[in-house]
Amino acid sequence: MEEHHPEISEDRLFFFEQEEVIIEGFNDSDLILDIGGGGEGIIGKLKGRQAIAIDSSKRELEEAAPGPLKIVM
């Protein structure tokens, strides 16, 4: 089932330059709550089963890399 969104007028669109975030030495030993953890699932890729990925989209979580506990909320 595909999700469809109503068309958005161009005067309501904003574009931003792509940003790169480098996370070095991410050594936390506790569980990590990744809100919006679907899609690319970067935290889940980096921390595997140490991450708990929460997303409102089941599809996004299904497409994310395996490893973290995934919760649709």
Check residue 59 and report its DSSP letter: H
Question: What is the pTM for the complete model shown?
Answer: 0.61
3-state helix, strand, coil in the chain (%, to 5): 25, 20, 60
Domain residues of the chain, as ranges?
Answer: 30-73
Q: What is the pLDDT of residues 18-55, one digit of tens each?
A: 998 887 776 778 899 999 998 888 889 988 999 999 99
- Report CA-CA distances (Å) from 58 to 13, 29, 35: 26, 27, 13
pLDDT the model gives residue 1:
47
